[in-house]
Amino acid sequence: MEKQIVLLPGDGIGTEVIKSAKKVLEAIAEEYHHTFTFTVHAIGGSAIDSNGDPLPPSTVEACKKADAILLGAVGGPKWDQNPSHLRPEKGLLGIRKALDLYANLRPVKAFEKLLHASPLKADRVQGSDLLIVRELTGGLYFGTPSERRDDGKSVVDTLAYTRTEIERIVDKAFQCAQGRKKHLTSVDKANVLESSKLWREVVEQKKADYPEVEVEHLLVDAAAMKLITNPTHFDVIVTENMFGDIISDEASVLTGSLGMLPSASLREDGVGLYEPVHGSAPDIAGQGVANPIGMILSAAMMLRHSFSLNEEAEAIENAVQSVLDNGYHTPDLRMHNGQKAGTKEMTDLIVDHI
Ligand code: NAI
Ligand code: MG
């Protein structure tokens, strides 16, 4: 199989972990006789520095032509004081919107070997295996108006959704649940928000199309608590953009580190952008200690969702599992025993297993 992959390293540890994903994909290409061609394009803070634009048109063009896209992370203190149109995050939100990547899949799995890396009790975390399906191109992060008013004395943000936008993400979540343990939790704030009331209505309607899937509704505050007190309760969670952003960072606690979580952002036709859930981690950037697993598992998701290379995806996931089982981990996983490894060492160990 021949595929064109665009790499968007971005900033901070994004530039470090994307090298790991590339190495792993090169190993897969060799082992399974595929040809992956990589081209690198600018996004985020580094694109502001090089092109004066967090999302240069050439990057959007390249992404539109690519078979799939891998992104590291964007942002950093260097650009924090920039005006809002010159913020690295504009690049990220912009590419999601430009490609209409409305479905963000964030699997969260507690690896047996890392149970004690979580600050939660191991017996609570054990067996956690859930999928957060986050709406990615609507809601509070994209609503207008979003501005300061009255000389800065008041502000407004807007949470807007159309029925169609809700329907397509809910549909996606039902499909995911169908292929897993057939349990769907819809998370909203329907006791307060009008948008959540419509969200609930849509979920109730869609239920009829997926009779095998058991459905429940949870308010987001209760869901936040249950995610920590009873994480194994969950199979698939579907929720709007901001709620999904927050509860997925929360869910990362189950795995021991934010650096463990991969994600896929998909369009209706399967075009996808794959990135770790974490940010550019300026506090550890340049030290060679970033956990590459979230990024590497994102590459596995790419193989599965965009290229239907399931065996290859599993080969990566099994390699990650084996390296962890052998006791290796990056320093963000706070464990008393095992072998500490840096980004490069961890990557090489995973490549060896492939
Ligand atoms: P962050 O996710 O970059 O870091 C949070 C904490 O987790 C830090 O202590 C960091 O060292 C640690 N961490 C994250 N990923 C790690 C990894 N792979 N290995 C080891 N440790 C890891 O979030 P933070 O600090 O709030 O934001 C930093 C910058 O990243 C900001 O500019 C923010 O806007 C941006 N950001 C970008 C995202 C993206 O590109 N998708 C997502 C979240 C934040
Ligand atoms: Mg986030």
What does the pLDDT look like over 176-220, one tens digit per residue? 999 999 999 999 999 999 999 999 999 999 999 999 999 999 999
- The mean pLDDT value for 280-301 works out to 98
354 assigned binding-site residue: no
283 assigned binding-site residue: yes
Local confidence band at 261 (pLDDT 50, 70, 90 cut-offs): very high
Distance CA 64, CA 71 (A): 14
Active-site residue flag, 245: yes
Query: What is the residue whose two structure tokens read 């369009």?
Result: 267
Say what the pLDDT of residue 184 is.
98
Active-site residue flag, 235: no
Query: What is the residue whose two structure tokens read 């067996």?
Result: 127
Ligand nearest to the CA of 263: 1
Q: Given CA atoms 81, 85, 87, 89 in this order, what sign does their dihedral have?
A: positive
Active-site residue flag, 206: no
E strand or H helix at 199? helix 194-206
Distance CA 196, CA 140 (A): 12
- The mean pLDDT value for 170-178 works out to 98
Please write the tens of the pLDDT for every residue from 42-99: 999 999 999 999 999 999 999 999 999 999 999 999 999 999 889 999 999 999 999 9
Say what the pLDDT of residue 271 is.
87
Give, using CA atoms, the residue closest to atom 11 of ligand 1. 281
Question: Is 292 in contact with 331 (CB distance < 8 Å)?
Answer: no
Tokens of 278: 């974490």
Looking at the chain, the whole-number percentage of residues with pLDDT higher than 90 is 97
Please write the tens of the pLDDT for every residue from 130-151: 999 999 999 999 999 999 999 9
Ligand 1 mean position, distance from CA 45 (Å): 14
Please write the tens of the pLDDT for every residue from 118-127: 999 999 999 9
Q: Which of 94, 23, 4, 37 is nearest to 349 (CA)?
A: 23
Tokens of 47: 């694109």
Question: Is 168 in contact with 209 (CB distance < 8 Å)?
Answer: no
180 assigned binding-site residue: no
Ligand 2 mean position, distance from CA 294 (Å): 13
Say what the pLDDT of residue 350 is.
98
Q: Is the CB of 273 under 6 A from ligand 1?
A: no
Say what the pLDDT of residue 335 is.
84
- The mean pLDDT value for 32-39 works out to 98
Ligand 2 mean position, distance from CA 244 (Å): 8
Local confidence band at 313 (pLDDT 50, 70, 90 cut-offs): very high
Please write the tens of the pLDDT for every residue from 222-253: 999 999 999 999 999 999 999 999 999 999 99
Local confidence band at 268 (pLDDT 50, 70, 90 cut-offs): confident
Say what the pLDDT of residue 269 is.
86
Ligand 1 mean position, distance from CA 341 (Å): 19
Q: Which of 173, 202, 167, 169 is nearest to 107 (CA)?
A: 173
Say what the pLDDT of residue 200 is.
98
Report in angstroms the alpha-carbon separations of 94 from 60, 161, 316: 9, 18, 30
DSSP 124-157: HHTT-EEEEEEE-SSGGGT-S--EEEGGGTEEE-
Question: What amino acid is encoded at 40 in this protein?
Answer: V
Mutate to test the pocket of ligand 1, among 17, 55, 258 (most ligand atoms within 8 A of CB): 258
Q: Is the CB of 71 under 6 A from ligand 1?
A: no
Round the average pLDDT of the chain to a whole number and report it: 96
Which stretches of 214-292 are DSSP H helices?
Answer: 220-229, 241-251
Helix/strand/coil for 334: coil
- Considering 11, 22, 53, 141, which one is annotated as catalytic? 141
* pLDDT at position 336 over 90: no
Say what the pLDDT of residue 59 is.
98
Active-site residue flag, 141: yes
- Considering 67, 100, 171, 249, which one is annotated as catalytic? 249
Q: Is the CB of 76 under 6 A from ligand 1?
A: yes
Give, using CA atoms, the residue closest to atom 33 of ligand 1. 75
96 assigned binding-site residue: yes
Question: Is 188 in contact with 217 (CB distance < 8 Å)?
Answer: yes
Q: What is the ipTM of this complex?
A: 0.98
In order of their start, the domains of the chain are 1-103+263-354 (3.40.718.10), 119-255 (3.40.718.10)
